[in-house]
Chains A and B, each alone.
Chain A
Amino acid sequence: MKTTIQEQDGKMVAILAGSLDTAAAPETEKAMSPLNDVVGKDIIIDCTELEYISSAGLRIFLGILQNTEEKGGHVFIKGINENVRTIFAITGFSNIFKFM
């Protein structure tokens, strides 16, 4: 599991690659924690390389979303594959996240 955070065009982009299973979740959560400090910028989570997500992963996503929206920002999901989209659909996360 590989997590990269970078700034592009005034937006924070988190690029996730690999399988975000329960075992990988704590590490990923730690890697994405800088996003919680971002103020006034939208966040894009790039899931193009994300192969798998467990509920622990979804919890990280939900945490970032609730934190960002509290500060008036937006979270966008980018390049989600079919498998992960299914999990989003099942859990109702596709209703609360914006996709690009």
Chain B
Amino acid sequence: MNGIITYIRRKLSVRVSLRVVVSAAILFITALGLMFYQARVAVRQEAISRATQILDKTSLRVDSILNRVEVASDMTKWLVERHTDDADLMFVYSRSMLENNPNFYNCSVAFEPDYFENKGRYFSAYTRHVGDSIRTIQGGSDNYQYFYMDWYLMPKLLERPCWTEPYFDHDVSTNTSEMVTSYCQTIKDRQGKMIGVINTSLSINWLSHTISAVKPYPHSYSIMIGRGGTYFVHPDTTKITRQTIFTHTLEQPDTAMMALGYAMQRGESGMKLMHLDGKDNYVFYKPLGKTGCSMAIVCPESDIFRSFDRLQNTILAIVAIGLLLMLCFFIRIITYELDPLRRLATEAETIASGQFDAELPDLKRIDEIGQLSHSFGNMQQSLVRYIEELKNTTAQKASIESDLRIASDIQMGMLPEKFPTRNDHEDVQLYASLTPAKEVGGDLFDFYFRDEKLFFCIGDVSGKGVPASLFMAVTRSTFRTVSAHESMPDRIVTIMNKTIADMNKNHMFVTLFVGVLDLPTGRLHYCNAGHDAPLLVGAGIGELPCDSNIPVGFMPKWNFSLQEAQIFIGTTIFLFTDGLTEAMDAHKAQFHMKRVNEVAERALANQQHEPRQLIEQMTDAVHQFVGDAEQSDDLTMMAIQYIRQQCDAKIQKNIMLSNDIQEVPQLDAFIEDICHTVGFDDIETMKIKVAVEEAVVNVMKYAYPTGQRGNVNVEAAFNGSRLKVTIIDSGKPFDPTVHSTVDTSLSAKERKIGGLGIHIMRQNMDSINYERMDKLNVLTLRKNLKNKD
């Protein structure tokens, strides 16, 4: 069954044909049903009227027979009453009655007992057909005392002629019985005294034949019942006289049969539909004249509607066969018409499997299927074109992605990877992280040590992606270049701004925070160019106060301001880009400064505010907040903790020199003395001496205007492991550390005379550092005392 349903669902032709044929079938069946119903009503009406006519005819016929009996009886009575004295004449009358009316069964002219004196007690002239002849005898005897018979007594007592109930007429001579019904009337003498009875009988059998001959349908039959309901005519002869119409209902209550019986007894005429012998029958009934009998014709419905049913079946068969043929025909036609569609479907399947060059069937049709085929062809061509374009685009995209990956690696490579920690740096520890929102980003951070200063910066380029990343690279390299020669953040930023603005055609900009932390003193110089103010996490949480400078990159003439702050030992400077405060969760809510402060406060409370710890906690908090939402902006954080432990000087000496190079030998002696006291060997001593001499001679030569006297104060301090020489002067600001170093690989011819001094200082000392403090130039040189093994 499922197989058939699946087949129908898969076959459009079958489905459409079925729909059409089913619709047609419904239409036909409705029309035919209506027609058949009307025809059936008409046939039934016709049958009823026909049966009624036949019944009426039969009834009339029976009536005419009865009338004849009555007329003949009346005529015989008239003759008999004229000659009541002649007994022999009675035989003649009786015989002539049958001679004139061959249909009569018998005729008796019977007299009162002892009426004829010479004829004894019984006299009844009885004539009857025996075979083809007519026999007349005297019927009364001791065995047959006729005057006690119903037929004799009824007219005598009723004093009017009457028809008897059928009874058996017994012929003594032949000892045969025949069921008859008789018309009886009294014979009266001239005085009006009743003297006998004339009895004229009709054979019920004959009557029955007459009635039974009425056969409107092959299987119809007639019945006749008497006043008591006794069957006188019935196809089942065993029931005749032995059963009544009610007999059967005693065993099996049958209201329809009883109703029929009563109706017939009452002498009504009509028609009833009854179920008899397992079939539906129409029963037409009518009383039979004066006899008190009633006859009925039973017509099986199947007979009435036989030809009609045959016609109906024939039509139905024709319609059914026609519909089936129509179905087959439709399926064939639709299949034929849809064949191109099927081929198209096959080809479409081929194309769908990736074979875009499959040949489409060339349909020379202009109907919907032709249009579809045409559209499909266009689609195929477009598909081929698009696939080709897609291939190219994908290849280009892959190439771009590969480039982006490399760019990302390069960009990440630009950032410092090694972060100073407590283990390898005694002044400061630092940690930073940068997470770009795309492959490459516009955030940057950088730091490096020069002498005893930490140069650092953090920045955020406007926009994201490749343009921002290029701008970031430019910014970062500019920072490195500029800060190599400048130690003051305001100068660094101002120069960077000018440099970048000059080449900025796209009006991009970068917010930047540049700081320089002087490690020996914890002094922070900084310049903020429109960046978020950093947090100080140490003795509580606080923002570093920042001037409102513009971002870098679009106003080349802007002078950025310098700010200064003291960083205390243990304090962490936390720098970040707006990717932190503006990190968004799935509902576009921002992380906000409030949460940054909360995380920092918690970290501080737990003493977990070392750079790496702080940044990791901040990162966790942001990840937790953002959840599965896509990162919206580059996120960069940098934390710097100042951890320098000041050591008390064990040895401290100083010498004040004037700006006269003739005092250099004093300086040399001073240095030599302290170096030996501290424990440096000869070579180290000589190196320190050369370096300090270079620094001091620089001051002597250039700090003060020619001819003006000035002082140079040289302090030497030793804390047990390191010698610190501080050279202080009040001359014009001069930072020797920003001067470029000499190239020692050049040939003698190419070598310049100048620049050697700073080179020697750097080479000979472990660190040098310049600070401008309170209008003084402060240059610090340091040298570690190596352990003597």
> In the docked arrangement, what's the CA distance between A82 and B689, Å?
15
Chain A residues near B751 (CB-CB < 8 A): 62, 66, 96
Closest beta carbon of chain B to A66's beta carbon, Å: 6
> Interface majority SS on B: helix, strand, loop or mixed?
helix
Partner of A92, one of B686, B690, B697, B744: B744
Q: Which of the candidate stretches B118-126, B447-455, B628-636, B757-765 sits at the interface with the other chain?
A: B757-765
Chain A residues near B662 (CB-CB < 8 A): 23
Chain B residues near A97 (CB-CB < 8 A): 748
Closest beta carbon of chain B to A91's beta carbon, Å: 6
Q: Are A19 and B668 in contact (CB under 8 A)?
A: yes
Closest beta carbon of chain A to B729's beta carbon, Å: 16
Q: Give the residue name and chain of the B residue nearest to A84 (CB).
A: B686
B403: interface (CB < 8 Å): no
Interface size grouping (class) on chain B: 20 to 34
Q: Which of the candidate stretches A31-39, A40-48, A53-61 sits at the interface with the other chain?
A: A53-61
Q: Are A21 and B745 in contact (CB under 8 A)?
A: no
B557: interface (CB < 8 Å): no
> In the docked arrangement, what's the CA distance between A51 and B694, Å?
17
Q: Are A90 and B748 in contact (CB under 8 A)?
A: no
Q: Are B753 and A63 in contact (CB under 8 A)?
A: yes
> In the docked arrangement, what's the CA distance between A95 and B693, Å?
24
> In the docked arrangement, what's the CA distance between A59 and B687, Å?
17
Q: Are A66 and B748 in contact (CB under 8 A)?
A: yes
Q: Are B747 and A90 in contact (CB under 8 A)?
A: no
Given contacts A90-B760, A91-B756, contact A55 B690 (CB under 8 A): yes
> In the docked arrangement, what's the CA distance between A69 and B661, Å?
31
Chain B residues near A56 (CB-CB < 8 A): 697
Closest beta carbon of chain B to A26's beta carbon, Å: 8
> In the docked arrangement, what's the CA distance between A90 and B691, Å?
11
Q: Are B760 and A95 in contact (CB under 8 A)?
A: no
Q: Are A91 and B760 in contact (CB under 8 A)?
A: yes
> In the docked arrangement, what's the CA distance between A58 and B637, Å?
48
Given contacts A52-B689, A83-B682, contact A91 B665 (CB under 8 A): no
Q: Are A86 and B687 in contact (CB under 8 A)?
A: yes
Given contacts A22-B697, A92-B744, contact A52 B686 (CB under 8 A): yes
Q: Are A23 and B663 in contact (CB under 8 A)?
A: yes
> In the docked arrangement, what's the CA distance between A52 and B691, Å?
12
Q: Which of B675-704 contact A (CB under 8 A)?
A: 682-683, 686-687, 689-690, 693-694, 697
Given contacts A52-B689, A55-B756, A91-B759, contact A23 B664 (CB under 8 A): yes
Q: Give the residue name and chain of the A residue nearest to B755 (CB).
A: A55
Chain B residues near A23 (CB-CB < 8 A): 661-665
Q: Give the residue name and chain of the A residue nearest to B700 (CB).
A: A22
A17: interface (CB < 8 Å): no
B749: interface (CB < 8 Å): yes
Q: Are A62 and B753 in contact (CB under 8 A)?
A: yes
Chain A residues near B689 (CB-CB < 8 A): 52
Q: Which of B752-782 contact A (CB under 8 A)?
A: 753, 756-757, 759-760, 763-764
A87: interface (CB < 8 Å): yes
Closest beta carbon of chain A to B603's beta carbon, Å: 46
Q: Are A66 and B749 in contact (CB under 8 A)?
A: yes
Chain B residues near A86 (CB-CB < 8 A): 683, 686-687
Closest beta carbon of chain B to A89's beta carbon, Å: 9
> In the docked arrangement, what's the CA distance between A21 and B693, Å?
8
> In the docked arrangement, what's the CA distance between A9 and B682, Å?
35
Given contacts A22-B697, A23-B665, contact A55 B757 (CB under 8 A): yes
Chain A residues near B757 (CB-CB < 8 A): 55
Given contacts A55-B757, A66-B749, A90-B760, contact A22 B686 (CB under 8 A): no
Partner of B661, one of A22, A55, A59, A91: A22
> In the docked arrangement, what's the CA distance between A90 and B747, Å?
15
Total chain A interface residues with beta-carbon distance under 8 A = 26
> In the docked arrangement, what's the CA distance between A5 and B764, Å?
31
Q: Are A87 and B686 in contact (CB under 8 A)?
A: yes
Chain A residues near B697 (CB-CB < 8 A): 22, 54, 56
Q: Are A95 and B745 in contact (CB under 8 A)?
A: yes
Mark interface residues in A60-90 (1 if CB within 8 Å of B CB, else 0): 0011011001000000000000110011001
> In the docked arrangement, what's the CA distance between A23 and B757, Å?
15
Chain B residues near A95 (CB-CB < 8 A): 744-745
> In the docked arrangement, what's the CA distance between A66 and B687, Å?
26
> In the docked arrangement, what's the CA distance between A69 and B747, Å?
11
Q: Give the residue name and chain of the B residue nearest to A94 (CB).
A: B744
Q: Give the residue name and chain of the B residue nearest to A75 (CB).
A: B748
Given contacts A23-B662, A52-B686, A82-B683, contact A62 B748 (CB under 8 A): yes
Q: Are A96 and B690 in contact (CB under 8 A)?
A: no
Closest beta carbon of chain A to B300's beta carbon, Å: 142
> In the docked arrangement, what's the CA distance between A86 and B689, Å?
13
> In the docked arrangement, what's the CA distance between A23 and B694, Å?
11
Task: Report which residue of A22, A52, A54 has the largest number of chain B beta carbons within 10 angstroms of its beta carbon.
Answer: A22
Mark interface residues in A12-30 (1 if CB within 8 Å of B CB, else 0): 0000000101110000000
> In the docked arrangement, what's the CA distance between A58 and B753, Å?
9
Partner of B747, one of A22, A59, A96: A96
Given contacts A23-B664, A54-B697, A87-B760, contact A69 B744 (CB under 8 A): no
Mark interface residues in B641-670 (1 if CB within 8 Å of A CB, else 0): 000000000000000000001111100100
> In the docked arrangement, what's the CA distance between A14 and B668, Å?
25
Closest beta carbon of chain B to A62's beta carbon, Å: 6
> In the docked arrangement, what's the CA distance between A23 and B759, Å?
20
Q: Are B748 and A96 in contact (CB under 8 A)?
A: yes
Q: Give the residue name and chain of the B residue nearest to A97 (CB).
A: B748
> In the docked arrangement, what's the CA distance between A2 and B87, Å?
222
Chain A residues near B693 (CB-CB < 8 A): 21-22, 54
Chain B residues near A59 (CB-CB < 8 A): 753, 756
Chain B residues near A21 (CB-CB < 8 A): 664-665, 668, 693
Chain A residues near B759 (CB-CB < 8 A): 90-91
> In the docked arrangement, what's the CA distance between A52 and B697, Å?
16
Q: Are A69 and B760 in contact (CB under 8 A)?
A: no
Chain B residues near A83 (CB-CB < 8 A): 682-683, 686
Q: Are A90 and B764 in contact (CB under 8 A)?
A: yes
> In the docked arrangement, what's the CA distance between A95 and B746, Å?
9
Q: Which of B697-742 contact A (CB under 8 A)?
A: 697, 742
Closest beta carbon of chain A to B699's beta carbon, Å: 12
Chain A residues near B668 (CB-CB < 8 A): 19, 21, 52
> In the docked arrangement, what's the CA distance between A56 and B698, Å?
11
Q: Give the residue name and chain of the B residue nearest to A87 (CB).
A: B690
Q: List 30 A-B contacts (CB under 8 A).
A: A19-B668, A21-B664, A22-B697, A23-B661, A23-B664, A52-B686, A53-B690, A54-B693, A55-B690, A55-B760, A59-B756, A62-B748, A62-B753, A63-B753, A66-B751, A82-B683, A83-B682, A83-B683, A83-B686, A86-B683, A86-B687, A90-B687, A90-B760, A90-B763, A91-B759, A92-B745, A92-B746, A95-B745, A96-B747, A96-B751
Chain B positions near chain A (C-beta within 8 angstroms): 661-665, 668, 682-683, 686-687, 689-690, 693-694, 697, 742-749, 751, 753, 756-757, 759-760, 763-764
Q: A56-B697, A65-B748, A91-B759 are in contact. List 12 more A-B contacts (CB 8 A).
A: A19-B668, A21-B665, A22-B697, A23-B663, A23-B665, A52-B689, A52-B690, A53-B690, A55-B760, A59-B753, A62-B753, A82-B683
- Top-4 shortest CB links A-B: A92-B744, A23-B664, A96-B748, A83-B686
